[in-house]
Copies of this chain bind each other. A is one copy, B any other.
Amino acid sequence: MNEQASGHRAGPVRSAAARDAILAATARLFQGQGYDHLTIEGIAKEAGVGKQTIYRWWPSRGALIAECLTDGRLIPIDFDVPYSGDLLRDVEEWLGSVLAILETPHGAMLLRSLVAAAAEDAEVGDHLSASLGVDRHLAERLAAGIRDGQLAADAPVELLGHAVLGTIIVQSLTRRPDVAGALRELVRYLVAAR
C-alpha cells in the first residue's frame, strides 16, 4: 500500500526520451523562428510527440522555455568572465563574447525573443539574467574588482550587472546599430577608477 521511499508506484515512469525530444524541439524552434511563431502543436510535431504529453508536464509555453533556459539549451555558451587581474579588460572581454553572439541578426532575434518570453511569463524572467551569466559571472567579477581595489567599495555590483544587461536589452529593443561600441563605452565609464 505504501509507496516506497524512492517514490515508486505502479505503471510506467516518465519517459526521459520524450522529455528530451520536447525540450530539444522547443529550443530548436525557438532559435529558428522566435518566440512568436512558437506553437505547442509545432513543438509536438517537431518532437514526434503527442500534444497531451506536453500539456501533461508543462502548464504553459513559458514553463517550457524556462526549463530550456535552466537546461542551458537556449544559450549554449556559458559566458564566464575571465580573471586576469585587470577588471576593465576582463569585463570588456566578457562583453565581447556576449556581443559576438548578440550582434548577429540571429542573436539579436534570440535576445528579443527571450525578452518577449520574460515579459509574458514570470518563470522565464526569473532565469533570464542568470542564463546570460550576469548574476553568476559578471557580478562576481565586479565584486572581485572591489577586493582588488579596482572598483569603489560601495559599487552595487549586482545592480551594475543588471544595468549592463538592461542597456543591452534597450539597445536591442530600439534596434540600435553599433551596440558593441556603445556598450564598451558604458562599461569603461562604469568601471573606471574613481
Contacts and interface: CB of A to CB of B under 8 A. Distances in A.
Given A163-B167, A170-B129, A182-B159, A154 B115 contact: no
Contacts of A169: 166, 169-170
A186 B156 contact: yes
A150 interface: no
Interface in A149-191: 152, 154-156, 159-160, 162-171, 173-175, 182, 185-186, 189-190
A155 B185 CA distance: 9
A115 B163 contact: no
Contacts of A189: 152, 154-156, 159-160
A125 interface: yes
Interface of A: 35-36, 112-113, 115-116, 118-120, 122, 125-126, 128-129, 152, 154-156, 159-160, 162-171, 173-175, 182, 185-186, 189-190, 192, 194
